[in-house]
Structure 1
Amino acid sequence: MPIAGFGTSFATEQSIRDALEAGYRHFDTSLNYMNKDETIQMEIVMGNVFNDVISSGKIKREELFIVSKLEEWDHQRDRVPIAITQSLTNLGLDYLDLYLIHGPESTERKNVSLVETWMGMNDVLESGLTKSIGVSNFDRTQIRSILGTGVVPVTNQVISNPYWTQKPMLAYLQSHNITMTAYSPMGGITDPDLLKDAKLNEIAQFHRVSNAQIAMRYQIQRGVIVIPKANHQKYIVQNLDLFSFNLLDYEMTEIEALNKH
C-alpha cells in the first residue's frame, strides 16, 4: 500500500484526474461517499476516470491501489459479497486492493457480531474480490474481538493528526503487525484550526514547506499511512511532496506535544 494516498469524500472528477497526473496511485473511497456536489457516488465518478486511463494505456490496473469500505447496513455475513460487488460495479473493477469495515457501530443494533462481519470479509478475500481486508474506526477491544477469527486486518483507518496523535493505538497496532491509516491528517472537521498552529508554522518555515506537509510528514516518519483530500490542483501536488525533507527528532517531539485528545 503506498504510504501516501488520496481521500475522495466530496471530491470531484477533475481532482481524481489531477491526482493521477500528480502521481497518486492509492485512492480511498467508500460506497456512501458522494462527489462535491452530492449528486453522484464517488465510486462511480472514480470508475469513469479509471476506465479512461486504463483503457488508454496510460496506467495499468496493477499500478493502482484502490480501497473501499463496507457500510453498516451490510454487516451480515451474507451481505458482504453483495456490498463489495456493488462497489466493484461502480468502480468498473474486478477486484479491490483493500476492503475495510467502515466502522463497528451497527453490529449491536442489528444483532450482528463483529466476528460474523469479519468472517464475511474473509469470504470476499478468499473469493478474490479483494486482495486484502482491514477495519476502520475500531478501538483496541473491537480489534481484539476479531483477532484469531480469520486473517489479521492489514490496517485500522482512524482519525489522526498532530492534535490527535493516536499514539496508544499506533503502539497497539504495531505490536500486532497492523498498519495505521490516518484520515483527517490535516485536522478535518474535528480540529479545523490545526493548520494555523504556530508550532507547525515555525517548523514549516524552517523546511520551506507548507504546514500541511509538516502534519503529514510527521505521520510518514511514524510509519502511518496518510490519505489527504484536496480539490485544488496546487494542494493535490503539494500533499504528495512528502519525501523531499525529513523532520528532526526534536521536531517530531514538538509535534507529539501538540496532542489534545
Structure 2
Amino acid sequence: MEVAGLPRKVHITRTTLACLNGDYEVEEGHGHKRNSFLKAHNIETFFIVPSHQRKILPGLILSDIKAAKSMKFKTVCYLLVQLMQCRKMFKAEILFSNDMTCEDDDKLWATKHDPEMVRPTLEKTLSVLQLDYVDLYIIEIPMAFKPGDEIYPKDENGKWLYHKSNLCATWEALEACKDAGLVKSLGVSNFNRRQLELILNKPGLKHKPVSNQVECHPYFTQPKLLKFCQQRDIVIIAYSPLGTSRNPTWVNISSPPLLKDELLNALGKKYKKTAAQIVLRFNIQRGVVVIPKSFNPERIKENFQIFDFSLTEEEMKDIEALNKNVRFVEMLMWCDHPEYPFHDEY
C-alpha cells in the first residue's frame, strides 16, 4: 500500500465521495455490476478523475491523514475503512501509506443488532482494518432496522423497515466480544437516559458502557444527560461539537449557525482564538470529549490548540446560557421508530 505517485483516477464509494471537495470530475464506477459484495449491499461506486494531476483530492486526504497521525489524532477510522475497501474490491491505487495505524472507535449499525450478527460484523470490520481488536466499539443508534446487509432497508413503497429492538440482548453479544479480546471497551451513541438505564440495570451486567456519543455544543448543552452520565462514570463524547454542516438532507438548517454566534466570536477575539476553538474549549472544560471533523490540515492543528488558555467561570456560564435546545442532527426520518431516542426529555 505504499504511495507510488498519483493515479489517473481513483475508485471510491459514495460515502467517501460525500466527504470530498476539490478540483476533480466524477465518473460512474459501476462497481456493483462487477462485484457481488457491492451489489448485495446496494453500494454505488465512482471514479474521481483529477482536473490537474498534482491537485488530486485523495492526495489532500492523504495529507490530512498523515497530519492527523503526526499529531496523534484518532478519528480517521472510517475514512480508512472506505479507502481499504476500495483497494480490496478493485485493486485500485489508493493513496495512503502502510504505516498508518487506527486507534479509533467503530460502530455497530442498526441492521446488525441481532445478537448472532454482532460478532461476525465486528470481525469483518477488524479484517478490513487488519487489526486484532478496536479500542472502542459502540452501538451507533438504539433503533434496530430489518437485519441484513442493506444499510437503509425500505419496502417497495419506500417505508422504513424497522425491527424490534432488544438492546440488552445486543449488549450481551457485545460483552462476549469484549471477553473474547476483540474490543477493549464498549459504548453507545444517541442513547437517552431510559435506554442507558436498560443496559445499566440489565441482570448480570458484566461491562457497562464507558461512553455515550451524542450531539453536544453550546446551542445544545445536554446538561441533564451530561449529569446523569457523569454520575455513572459514562463519558459523553460530543459529535458535531461545532454545530455540524448545513446539509439539508439530514441537518436542520433552520437552526442558527453556531460559529457565527456573537458571544463566541467576541471570546475568540479576546483570547486570539477562533469561535470553533472557544466552542471546543467549552466542552473540554466541562468534561466532554469532542470529536470535530476536518479534512483541512490547518483546522486539524487549530483543533488541538485549545490547551493554552482557559475560560473563566463566568464565561463558561455565559456560554452555557446560549443553550437553545437546538438539535442539528434530529434523525426525524426515524421519529416513528419505537426506540427513537429524542422524544424523551433527555
**2:90 is the counterpart of 1:52:** no
**2:145 is the counterpart of 1:97:** no
Structure number with larger C-alpha Rg? 2
Match of 1:68 in 2: 106
Deviation at 1:106, TM superposition (A): 1.2
Q: What amino acid is aligned across from residue 289 of structure 2 in structure 1?
A: I
Distance in 1 between residues matched to 2:191 and 2:84, nearest whole Å: 23
Deviation at 1:27, TM superposition (A): 2.2
TM-score norm. by structure 2 comes to 0.63
Mapping 1:64-143, distance limit 5 Å: 65-106=103-144, 109-143=162-196
Distance in 2 between residues matched to 1:133 and 1:248, nearest whole Å: 34
Q: What amino acid is aligned across from residue 123 of structure 2 in structure 1?
A: T
Mapping 1:231-246, distance limit 5 Å: 231-246=295-310
Say which structure is richer in helix: 1
Match of 1:26 in 2: 74
Match of 1:187 in 2: 243
Deviation at 1:92, TM superposition (A): 1.7
Deviation at 1:105, TM superposition (A): 1.2
Deviation at 1:15, TM superposition (A): 2.2
Q: What amino acid is aligned across from residue 263 of structure 2 in structure 1?
A: K
Q: What amino acid is aligned across from residue 19 of structure 1 in structure 2?
A: A
Deviation at 1:232, TM superposition (A): 1.0
Identity of aligned residues (%): 36
Match of 2:234 in 1: 178
Match of 1:201 in 2: 265
**2:285 is the counterpart of 1:218:** no
The gaps in structure 1 that reach 5 residues or longer are 1-7, 55-60
**2:198 is the counterpart of 1:160:** no
Larger relative contact order (CA 8 Å, sep ≥ 6): 1
User: Greater CA deviation, 106-115 or 199-208?
Assistant: 106-115
Deviation at 1:107, TM superposition (A): 6.4
Contact in 1 for aligned 2:111/2:145 (Cα 8 Å): no
Contact in 1 for aligned 2:241/2:290 (Cα 8 Å): yes
Q: What amino acid is aligned across from residue 41 of structure 1 in structure 2?
A: Q
Deviation at 1:192, TM superposition (A): 6.2
SS in 1 for 2:174: helix
Match of 1:41 in 2: 82
Deviation at 1:256, TM superposition (A): 0.2
Q: How many residues align?
A: 238
CA distance 1:165–1:87, shift in 2 (3 Å):
same
Deviation at 1:49, TM superposition (A): 8.3
TM-score norm. by structure 1 comes to 0.83
Deviation at 1:51, TM superposition (A): 6.6
Deviations 1:170-199 (A, max 9, x none): 000011111100000000144561011000
Distance in 2 between residues matched to 1:85 and 1:180, nearest whole Å: 26
Pairwise CA RMSD:
2.7
